[in-house]
């Protein structure tokens, strides 16, 4: 039996036991294929239809999780349903029952202060572009002539933070051709834990594909949930490892 069949079977077993399920979906790389231009990563209509079917089921809750800002995530998904929970900026922002809030307001000004110098450091290591986010520093690498650029930039950025005595306030996250700097108190894991605690009678299932999702994958295991990776190279060992192409099949199966 393939991983996708095992996962669907496990979900069906829980549903037969009248267990409610809270689905947490990372956005880029899970619901939407990775794009060279992040501004064009719109939610496909077929995927959106599948999510809507989940939302309509009284046994399910749905949250969309992303490193993107709430405003960008809403623009790309065109979701206006208050039943959908949005977690943006790696957990910095939360839209719950139609009301927006911050997980933390610490170190926002620090991120803005280091942005020009951090950009200079990034460009000295690799060609790329800065994605304009108000609460994080996000640099996309677009340099194909060099190797190991993510790790090299990761080390350079950590050195920069240490030299400026900010290594105890800010963290560096490395993803797929991307480096992000954000406050240490913020993570996808901490954000989804806040939601999970409100729905302890639900089985949490998290779908992620990147290093930035590891904190969330660990949290669902803490609450005896199911962790699903859509990246076989991810360093964290999830309960299930699926091909990103399986996502639509899962959404179409669960109604």
Q: Do 235 and 241 form a contact (C-beta atoms < 8 A)?
A: no
DSSP 184-202: TT--HHHHHHHHHTT-TTE
Q: What share of the chain is helix, strand, coil (3-state, %, to 5)?
A: 40, 25, 35
Task: Kindly report, residue by residue over 63-90, the tens digit of the pLDDT.
Answer: 999 988 898 999 999 887 788 999 999 8
What is the domain partition of the chain in residue ranges? Answer: 3-103+187-253, 108-183
- Please state which CATH class domain 3-103+187-253 belongs to: alpha beta
Percent of the chain with pLDDT over 90: 53
Q: pTM of the full predicted structure?
A: 0.87
CATH topology of domain 108-183: Hypothetical Protein Ta0175; Chain: A, domain 2 (3.90.1070)
Residue 21's CB: how many other CB atoms inside 10 A? 21
Mean local confidence (pLDDT), 169-194:
89
Residue 40's CB: how many other CB atoms inside 10 A? 9
d(CA 251, CA 228): 14
Mean local confidence (pLDDT), 219-244:
92
User: How many residues can be counted in the chain?
Assistant: 255
CA torsion angle 251 100 93 233 (round to 10): 0
Burial of 194: CB neighbours in 10 Å, binned 0-12, 13-18, 19+: middle
Q: What is the CA radius of gyration of the chain?
A: 18
């Amino acid at each position: 039996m393939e991983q996708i069949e095992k996962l669907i079977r496990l979900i069906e077993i829980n549903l037969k036991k009248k267990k409610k399920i809270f689905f947490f979906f990372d956005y880029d790389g899970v619901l939407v294929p990775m794009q060279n231009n992040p501004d064009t990563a719109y939610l496909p209509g077929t995927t959106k239809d599948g999510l809507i079917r989940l939302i309509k089921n009284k046994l399910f809750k749905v949250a969309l999780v992303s490193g993107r800002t709430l405003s960008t995530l809403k623009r790309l998904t065109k979701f206006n349903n208050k039943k959908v929970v949005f977690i943006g900026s790696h957990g910095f922002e939360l839209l719950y029952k139609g009301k927006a809030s911050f997980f933390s307001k610490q170190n926002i000004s620090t991120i803005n202060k280091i942005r020009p110098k951090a950009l200079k450091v990034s460009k000295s290591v690799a060609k790329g572009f800065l994605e304009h986010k108000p609460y994080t520093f996000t640099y996309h690498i677009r340099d194909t002539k060099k190797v190991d650029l993510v790790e090299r930039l990761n080390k350079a950025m950590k050195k920069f933070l240490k030299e400026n005595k900010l290594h105890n306030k800010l963290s560096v996250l490395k993803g797929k051709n991307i480096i992000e700097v954000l406050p240490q108190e913020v993570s996808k894991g901490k954000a989804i834990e806040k939601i999970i605690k409100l729905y302890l009678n639900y089985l949490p299932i998290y779908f992620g594909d990147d290093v930035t999702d590891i904190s969330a994958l660990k949290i669902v295991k803490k609450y005896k949930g199911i962790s699903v990776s859509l990246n076989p190279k991810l360093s964290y060992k999830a309960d299930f490892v699926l091909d990103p192409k399986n996502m639509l099949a899962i959404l179409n199966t669960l109604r």
